[in-house]
Structure 1
Amino acid sequence: MRWTQALMREVAQEERAGLGLGPTEPLDPYALAEEHGISVYTLDSLRDFEMNGEAFSHFTLRRASAWSAALVPLGTARVIIENESHSPVRRRSNIAHELGHYLLEHSFNDVILGEDHKRQFNTEQEKQATFMAGELLVPLTAVERMAFDGWDNARVAAAYGVSEQFAQMQMKGQRIRAQRAARKYGFALPAKRNS
């Protein structure tokens, strides 16, 4: 299937509605994972499955930014492993990103290790999963209204449990559209507000 933004947005809306959420309500990505029967494990919890302390320290202390989360196939099941050393807002976006891969039924055969032992990914699938994470956490319908109402990144971030950078990513295009509409139709947008 060729995933367009409109189709991905439709899937995200259906998933949010399945949790009883409207477009202005924050989504708990852990609840969505549970809804799909996907268990989420932290690196620390993998120590119970014989993950050694060296690997744990590598990903949580020495190179914490090197790895965020992964959707892992276990037979026909899927699990997500996340790096708990990241901030709660980043963890939420990491989980939503991995759920994006799951919801878009991305294959696992495009994940390889490069010569530097870093994972190499399918660029198109990564873009799609990022788009889905955005639509799951801060959907376009809400973004359109917030852009016209003058919400700043801090307010969006607080309302939806995302980072200010994530809020900026979602809001940027709609803010430009709101500014163009204001110029075209001669009305003033409210100043950005954070309350």
Structure 2
Amino acid sequence: MPRGGWTQARMREVVLEERGELGLGAIDPFDPYALADAHGILAFKLGDLLAGGMSQKAFGHFTMDNSAAWSAALVPLGSARVIVENESHARVRRRSNIAHELGHFLLEHPFDNVILGEDHKRQFDEKQEKEADFMAGELLIPLAATSRMAFDGWDNARVAAAYDVSPQFAQKQMYGQRVRAQHAERKYNFGRSNLNKSTAR
């Protein structure tokens, strides 16, 4: 962790570095599974754990009875890490789940144990959860992309389709740059209006 903690600027630098290692530019679509593989992190589905002793009851609880209860977890295996994900979720949610866990990994968040329970936040404190969420957003739709799309007027459905995320994820990630684009448009229109008034005199 950098001295003084993680800033958004530093987290964005890490994202750009990681995307660069995958041969991606600042606005290219991103595959979280490819990044996990690049770091030697194996991604397992819950169903893969059945052969290792996970009960059918537990599998059914997390994939059918209460699939919203748990999404994914970064699990320590000695010095290695693996990710276990809930395959009952939609593809776009699974991608954001994996990106979130990779955020914890890239930010080197410490944890003492892993709880495959109903509250993922029991693993990490609130600050770390927010940092991992920020990293997931930047990995999947970086600032350069949101800025360009906001000024070009892309709606949530178009963003979601281009970056393989949910419309809700797209809206959250696009919000800040849309506000910035709206402010810039109002400033431009105000300046143009004043120019027209002055030339009309």
Normalized against structure 2, the TM-score is what?
Answer: 0.88
Could you tell me how far apart the structure 1 residues matched to 2:115 and 2:33 are? Answer: 27
**Partners of 1:58 and 1:64 within 8 A in 2:** yes
Instruction: Go from structure 1 to structure 2 and tell me whether the alpha carbon gap of 1:48 and 1:110 turns closer, same or farther (over 3 Å shift).
Output: closer
2:44 counterpart of 1:49: no
Amino acid at match of 1:178: A
Root-mean-square deviation (CA, aligned residues, Å) is 1.7
2:82 counterpart of 1:95: no
Matched-pair identity in %:
67
Could you tell me how far apart the structure 2 residues matched to 1:117 and 1:89 are? Answer: 21
Could you tell me how far apart the structure 2 residues matched to 1:64 and 1:186 are? Answer: 49
Could you tell me how far apart the structure 1 residues matched to 2:165 and 2:118 are? Answer: 30
Could you tell me how far apart the structure 2 residues matched to 1:99 and 1:112 are? Answer: 17
Q: Give the deviation of 1:109 after TM superposition.
A: 3.0
Instruction: Go from structure 1 to structure 2 and tell me whether the alpha carbon gap of 1:56 and 1:125 turns closer, same or farther (over 3 Å shift).
Output: same
Could you tell me how far apart the structure 1 residues matched to 2:25 and 2:66 are? Answer: 38
Q: How many residues align?
A: 185
Could you tell me how far apart the structure 2 residues matched to 1:56 and 1:94 are? Answer: 18
2:12 counterpart of 1:16: no
Which residue in 2 is equivalent to 1:124? 127
2:137 counterpart of 1:134: yes
Task: Say which of 179, 182, 187 aligns to 2:185.
Answer: 182
2:84 counterpart of 1:62: no
Q: Give the deviation of 1:110 after TM superposition.
A: 7.9
| Stretch deviating more after TM superposition (116-125 or 16-25) | 116-125
Amino acid at match of 2:166: S
Normalized against structure 1, the TM-score is what?
Answer: 0.91
Q: Give the deviation of 1:111 after TM superposition.
A: 6.3
Q: Which runs of 5+ in 1 are unaligned?
A: 188-195
Which residue in 2 is equivalent to 1:77? 80
Partner secondary structure for residue 171 of structure 2: helix
Amino acid at match of 1:171: M
Larger proportion of helix: 2
Task: Say which of 154, 159, 163 aligns to 1:160.
Answer: 163
**Partners of 1:111 and 1:122 within 8 A in 2:** no
Instruction: Go from structure 1 to structure 2 and tell me whether the alpha carbon gap of 1:38 and 1:124 turns closer, same or farther (over 3 Å shift).
Output: same
* Higher Cα Rg, which structure: 2
**Partners of 1:106 and 1:125 within 8 A in 2:** yes
Q: Which runs of 5+ in 2 are unaligned?
A: 191-201
Could you tell me how far apart the structure 2 residues matched to 1:103 and 1:14 are? Answer: 11
**Partners of 1:110 and 1:122 within 8 A in 2:** no
Question: CA offsets, 1:133-165, max 9 Å, x none?
Answer: 000000000100000000000000000010000
Could you tell me how far apart the structure 1 residues matched to 2:188 and 2:114 are? Answer: 48
Which residue in 1 is equivalent to 2:175? 172
